[in-house]
């Protein structure tokens, strides 16, 4: 799907509004946001690489109205979607030009309706431990979810088998704890969780047993981390 390259200029607007926890943010419009990020065009890249591939590089292909927070500024009403293959945040201009954020490390949060993403870039980290993460629980311990889509190469025709085009495939999500000291720890089983939060081990073991939690389930893991943040 081709996008127009014409950009409509918006009238700048600045006002103050209150968010959770009593923090005060200054709301800015899309004109200011477009000027700040430099307006790189993602649609050309998409047309060159996605058209011949089955499936989608997006977990949700539609843009949703969201917000982007930077320091004490919040850009509201930004049409956003997350590209889980290229691991980038894309947004849509008023003229239907697909753009993406080239400096995501400068922003604290990307909020897409009921999902909040943060960008983490840690020198020396493995590739899967960098990029965009969905923020599931926030506190002294943050629970992060890494979503990704991989590309399956095309397959030539074989005896009794037709050729297969290249296709996108969603990978199983992985989960991490982000601690107050900046450490990122992958959690795949209860042992990982208790080792990472060893100072709270007894209380967490009791909570998990009492409520019959299975930390391999996302909703249970969220509840356990929410509880850990109350200790």
The Cα 137–Cα 126 span in angstroms is 22
Task: Judge contact between 120 and 133, C-beta under 8 A.
Answer: yes
Tell me 148's DSSP state.
-
Secondary structure of residue 91 in the 3-state scheme:
strand
Task: Judge contact between 144 and 152, C-beta under 8 A.
Answer: no
Range list of β-strands (E), 148-213 = 149-152, 167-170, 174-178, 184-187
| Assigned token pair, 168 | 């996108």
Per-residue pLDDT 10s for the chain (231 aa) are 434 333 333 333 333 334 343 444 455 656 667 666 655 677 766 665 787 889 999 999 999 999 999 888 888 888 899 999 999 999 887 778 788 888 899 899 999 989 999 999 765 566 667 899 999 999 999 999 999 999 988 777 777 777 787 899 999 999 999 998 888 999 999 999 999 999 999 999 999 999 999 999 999 999 999 999 999
The Cα 227–Cα 143 span in angstroms is 12
Secondary structure of residue 161 in the 3-state scheme:
strand
């Amino acid at each position: 799907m081709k996008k127009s390259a014409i950009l409509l200029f918006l009238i700048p607007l600045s006002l103050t509004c209150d968010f959770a926890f009593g923090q005060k943010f200054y709301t800015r419009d899309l004109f200011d946001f477009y000027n700040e990020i430099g307006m790189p065009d993602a649609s050309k890249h998409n047309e060159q690489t996605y058209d011949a591939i089955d499936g989608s590089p997006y977990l949700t292909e539609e843009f949703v109205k969201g917000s982007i927070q930077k320091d004490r500024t919040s850009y509201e009403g930004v049409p956003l979607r997350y590209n889980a293959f290229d691991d980038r945040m894309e947004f849509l201009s008023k003229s239907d030009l697909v753009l993406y954020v080239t400096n995501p490390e400068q922003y604290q949060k990307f909020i897409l309706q009921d999902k909040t993403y943060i960008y983490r870039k840690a020198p020396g980290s493995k590739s899967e431990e960098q990029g965009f993460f969905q923020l599931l629980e926030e506190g002294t311990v943050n629970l992060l979810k890494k979503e990704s889509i991989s590309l399956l190469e095309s397959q030539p025709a074989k005896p009794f088998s037709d050729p297969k085009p290249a296709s996108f495939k969603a990978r199983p999500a992985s989960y991490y704890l982000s601690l107050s000291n900046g450490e990122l720890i992958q959690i795949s089983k209860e042992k990982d969780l208790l080792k990472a939060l060893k100072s709270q081990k007894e209380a967490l073991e009791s909570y998990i047993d009492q409520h019959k939690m299975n930390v391999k389930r996302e909703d249970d893991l969220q509840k356990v981390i929410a509880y850990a943040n109350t200790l």
